[in-house]
Homo-oligomer: A and B are copies of this chain.
Amino acid sequence: MDKGLQIEQDSFAIIDSATDLSRFNSAEQVIARKLIHTTGDTEFAELTCILSGAIEAGVAALRRGAPIICDVEMVRVGITRRYLQSYGNQVHCFISQPDVLTRAAADNLTRAETAMLYAAERYPDAIFAIGNAPTALLKLLELTATGRMQPAFVAGLPVGFVKAEESKDLLRQTTIPHVTNRGPKGGSPCAATVINGLLVVLNDLLSAE
């Protein structure tokens, strides 16, 4: 076995012996286990929140080739490209687009907020992966509430002490298919690993068909 893969499998065995993921179904466990693996933090066993049916919705969207919109470049590069090739999903991050920079300055919005507006105009029913900017998630929620977006799936795990927890609490109150977490923790690797976990679930599903 590939040495990197062996380390991952050993990690998963340690995680399973150290945590109780029994409140999740088997597809949800793939996601929760990957969140703990990515952060080295067993607290994610308790902090992870997955809306019922969200994994199925995310997997179906991936399978039909839905684009994946990331709030920051770290999320974009954290998504494993070699899995995605089979389904034709594009992975985008608009935060450094010249149009976005100009508009953010003109409208006194964060670049992350403006990038969500930009995404809503082009890919309103995409998969979204938000790991850094609470303002991106808050803007997504506003655009969804006003009918300008219908996200197929949201990995919403922005990190930090200002607005991150609040934005994730609001996401949990919606019916948008989502994975999120309680509290200030989170981050780009968390958002990326949720998408990579959906790809694992999809690959398992296709192998079983």
- What is the chain B residue whose CB lies nearest that of A75? B74
> What 0/1 pattern do residues 1 to 20 of A give for CB contact below 8 A with B?
00110010011001100100
Interface SS majority for chain A: helix
Given A3-B108, A109-B3, A110-B4, check contact A161 B77 (CB 8 Å).
no
Pair B39/A185 contact, Cβ less than 8 Å: yes
Given A109-B3, A110-B3, check contact A37 B161 (CB 8 Å).
yes
- What is the chain B residue whose CB lies nearest that of A132? B189
The verdict on A159 contacting chain B, using a C-beta distance below 8 Å, is yes
Pair A159/B3 contact, Cβ less than 8 Å: no
Interface residue tally on A, bucketed by range? 35 or more
Instruction: Give min CB distance, A132 to chain B, whole Å.
Output: 8
User: Could you tell me the distance between the alpha carbons of A41 and B165 in the complex, rounded to whole angstroms?
Assistant: 12
Pair A188/B74 contact, Cβ less than 8 Å: yes
User: Could you tell me the distance between the alpha carbons of A109 and B7 in the complex, rounded to whole angstroms?
Assistant: 12
The verdict on A67 contacting chain B, using a C-beta distance below 8 Å, is no
Instruction: Give min CB distance, A60 to chain B, whole Å.
Output: 27
Given A4-B111, A108-B3, check contact A15 B161 (CB 8 Å).
yes
The verdict on A40 contacting chain B, using a C-beta distance below 8 Å, is yes
The verdict on A160 contacting chain B, using a C-beta distance below 8 Å, is yes
Pair A159/B40 contact, Cβ less than 8 Å: yes
The verdict on A65 contacting chain B, using a C-beta distance below 8 Å, is no
Pair A11/B187 contact, Cβ less than 8 Å: no
User: Which chain B residues border A37 with CB–CB below 8 Å?
Assistant: 160-161
**Which residues of A come within 8 Å of B, CB atoms?**
3-4, 7, 10-11, 14-15, 18, 37-41, 73-74, 76-78, 108-112, 134-135, 159-164, 183-189, 192
